Chain A
Amino acid sequence: MNVPVLNASGCLDALTAPEVAATLDAFVTKTVTPLPREGNPPPRIAEVDGWMLNSIGLQNPGIEVFSTSVLPRLQDLGVPLWVSVGGFSSSDYKTCCERLDDLDAAQVIELNLSCPNVDEAPETVVELVQASRSATSKPLYAKLSPATPDIAELARSVADAGANGLSLVNTLRGLALDQATLRPRLALGTGGASGPALRPIALACVYACANAVELPIVGIGGVMSGADVIDFIAAGASAVALGTVLFADPLSPARIRDELERARSRGYSSAVEIRRLAHGLAFASRT
């Protein structure tokens, strides 16, 4: 079963670890914003009860430096590139998408519509997708938050707004306190929670959206093994992205692919087949 394996945005620096990036089917950049950002103050990382919390705060060199000096170096790696863009208003998303539109190196633009660690744009997710759509003809993947009351409905709306795919899901906002002082362990208090505990939440989102829209879905959230990838494919994803697991194991893409290969010998040979198991015949006949 050929399942594209990507990294989740912000979970790999292809320039400091090109050997790892080379093992992916596509490299997704850290989110780029119109202006450079230093990001949030440290501490930025904490682990708590099987979750990882991060509060990086979109540290990036800004779209201009990214386009002129980072993207060409990434292109040299020979791995297909997805560029994650973010911002604080619809014009920010538009600015980034416009700048990337004529750069061949950027094959896909992923819209980070759900970072829990920075202020939100005042516009709705749908308005941000519309603004991005108006600025580029490149494929747009909308990365959504699992903390959404009706993610299937949101998926229909972003599809109508011109998204070509969905990245499901981003982290959930969480808080960890120091046991001795009861002060937050991260400098800004809360952070985005990720890791295997996020997986059932992400699976529920993928399952609901796969039933609601016909867009391709990148499953993201606590993928640690080949078995987890099969869960995401069965739920309706057509690719997966690795996040937290990459921090613990930079060799995880190759290991997970190996585990997927072994799953084939258990009889799971096609995505359609395993989706039928999870969703029933009506869904599978559509794919």
Chain B
Amino acid sequence: MKGQHAVLGSGSSQTQVLGTARRERLTVVDNEAVGPYVLLRLERSGIEPGVPGQFFMLEAPCQLLPRPMSLCLAPPGELAFLLEPIGPGTRALAALAPQERIYVIGPLGNGFDLAVERPVLVAGGIGLAPMPYLSEALGGPPALLGFRSERHAEAARLLPGAEVVVEPRLVTELLPGEPSDILACGPEPMLEAVRELAPSAQLAWEAPMACGYGACYGCVVEVEGRYIRLCIEGPVL
């Protein structure tokens, strides 16, 4: 079936929709604990991993709406997503067992611009999620990670060689003094702080999102006094 031009309609588990994004039902390979986080590994089927920083909508069992997740790792034949089980949707995803199947749509949105000369990756907490895949695409640049506890910092093993700090120290304390191209993902206060120190940084934002393809206008962020849809204009801004 791979490579076959799919048509709109049911009966097929593999369907082209929304430009290059596809909607398919993927099989769970495994769910692995990574500190307090969970790495959800899915069989890739015909879904492309896309550009680092792009995202996917993952069906969460027994939830009405899918949940947006950026890709963490793209080993051959798989797509892996790093989750923090904090609400009903992420807990349902973290509880998936091997062989269970969920619908996935993607890749969606705009990822990081990889044409950078001196990349430095900066992430806070679950903002680590897109970094391993991004690091691979950029050939393993320097990476700075901040976590709120030693237990959360166990997830740093997904990005070997990264410099790690734990609160009360903040990842922004590690930002290099010399000119560099910052690519960052993390909680909003962290991204604001990074932007303050490095105005040209590429920042991956998140927002509650119902659809991921511009339909709901739910995921807006304010940019220069206008509300723009993060799923269409971002999530990397």
Residue numbers of A with Cβ under 8 A of B are 10-13, 16-17, 19-20, 23, 30, 38-39, 41-47, 50-52, 54, 56, 59, 195-196, 244, 246-251, 254-255, 258-259
Contacts and interface: CB of A to CB of B under 8 A. Distances in A.
Interface string B209-223: 111011111111110
A38 B223 CA distance: 12
Given A20-B213, A42-B222, A43-B207, 10 more contacts: A11-B216, A17-B18, A17-B213, A23-B8, A44-B219, A45-B216, A50-B64, A56-B218, A195-B64, A250-B211
Nearest to B226: A38
19 contacts: A16-B215, A20-B17, A20-B213, A39-B227, A42-B208, A42-B222, A43-B208, A45-B65, A45-B209, A46-B208, A47-B64, A47-B88, A59-B217, A59-B227, A246-B215, A247-B66, A247-B216, A250-B213, A254-B9
B17 A52 contact: no
Contacts of B66: 247-248
B91 to A, nearest CB: 13
A45 B17 contact: no
Interface of B: 8-11, 15, 17-19, 23, 59, 63-66, 88-89, 103, 105, 207-211, 213-222, 225-227, 232
A16 B214 contact: yes
Contacts of A12: 215
Contact of B217 (A39, A46, A195, A254): A39
Q: Please report whether the interface of chain B is mostly helix, strand, loop or mixed according to DSSP.
A: loop
A249 B103 contact: yes
A10 B216 CA distance: 7
A258 B7 CA distance: 13
Contacts of A54: 210, 216, 218
Closest 3 CB pairs of A and B: A16-B214, A45-B218, A247-B211
Contacts, number: 118
A285 B215 CA distance: 40
A109 B23 CA distance: 33
A244 B64 contact: yes
Contacts of B213: 16-17, 20, 250
Most chain A Cβ neighbours within 10 Å, of B19, B63, B64, B88: B64
B15 A251 contact: yes
Contacts of A258: 9-11
A46 B222 CA distance: 19
B217 A44 contact: yes
Contacts of B211: 246-248, 250
A249 B63 CA distance: 13
Most chain A Cβ neighbours within 10 Å, of B9, B17, B215, B221: B215
B81 to A, nearest CB: 18
Contact of A19 (B8, B210, B216, B219): B8
A268 to B, nearest CB: 18
Contacts of A244: 64-65, 210
A17 B215 contact: yes
B18 to A, nearest CB: 6
A254 B15 CA distance: 12
A13 B214 contact: yes
Nearest to A60: B217
A258 B207 CA distance: 34
A248 B59 contact: yes
A113 B103 CA distance: 35
B210 A52 contact: yes
